[in-house]
């Protein structure tokens, strides 16, 4: 009986995860062009930190909304090699319009380089 209950619970969790994945695919991702201000990597801790802001001044208010609404969430960044990697987004409270990304080292972004950041599907597009 216990084994049967575990199988039912596992099936329900799998279906729930599948449904969330499918609905996330249907929603459009929000993407913004950014520029790295600082990049710090700690090989011992296997961590990279990127301090950044928007690439174009016209998107400053959009980035501010993304930082406010999605702080602490996972986002994706397009590295210098063109591939996408997951990173944790944080808003720097001490520097208006600046964000911080935390991810596994090595950093796919070089200091002062431009990159794309996207909030995966399901995000509400920012309205300035």
Which of 99, 117, 114, 97 minimizes the C-alpha distance to 50? 99
Per-residue pLDDT for 79 more than 50?
yes
pLDDT of residue 33: 96
Per-residue pLDDT for 10 more than 50?
no
What value does the mean pLDDT take over residues 64-78? 94
Please state the pTM of the whole predicted model.
0.72
Per-residue pLDDT for 11 more than 50?
no
Rg (CA), the chain: 18
Q: Compute the distance between CA of residue 34 and CA of residue 68 in angstroms, rounded to an integer.
A: 16
* Domains recognised in the chain with CATH numbers: 29-119 (2.40.30.10)
pLDDT of residue 122: 53
pLDDT of residue 36: 97
CA angle in degrees (0–180, nearest 5) for 51-48-57: 20
pLDDT of residue 73: 96
Per-residue pLDDT for 125 more than 50?
no
pLDDT of residue 97: 84
Name the helix (H) or strand (E) containing 31: strand 30-42
Which of 46, 51, 67 minimizes the C-alpha distance to 111? 51
pLDDT interval class at 27 (50, 70, 90): low
Find out whether 75 and 89 touch, Cβ atoms under 8 Å: yes
pLDDT interval class at 20 (50, 70, 90): very low
pLDDT of residue 96: 80
């Amino acid at each position: 009986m216990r084994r049967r209950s575990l199988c039912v619970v596992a099936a329900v969790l799998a279906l729930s995860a599948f449904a969330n994945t499918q609905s996330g695919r249907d929603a459009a991702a929000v993407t913004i062009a950014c520029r790295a201000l600082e990049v710090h990597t700690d090989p011992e801790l296997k961590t990279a930190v990127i301090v950044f802001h928007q690439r174009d001044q016209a998107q400053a208010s959009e980035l501010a909304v993304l930082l406010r609404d999605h702080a602490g969430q996972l986002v994706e960044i397009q590295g210098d090699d063109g591939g996408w990697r997951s990173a944790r987004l944080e808003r720097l409270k001490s520097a208006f319009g600046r964000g911080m990304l935390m991810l596994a080292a090595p950093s796919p972004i070089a200091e002062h380089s431009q990159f794309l950041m996207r909030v995966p599907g399901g995000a509400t597009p920012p309205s300035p």
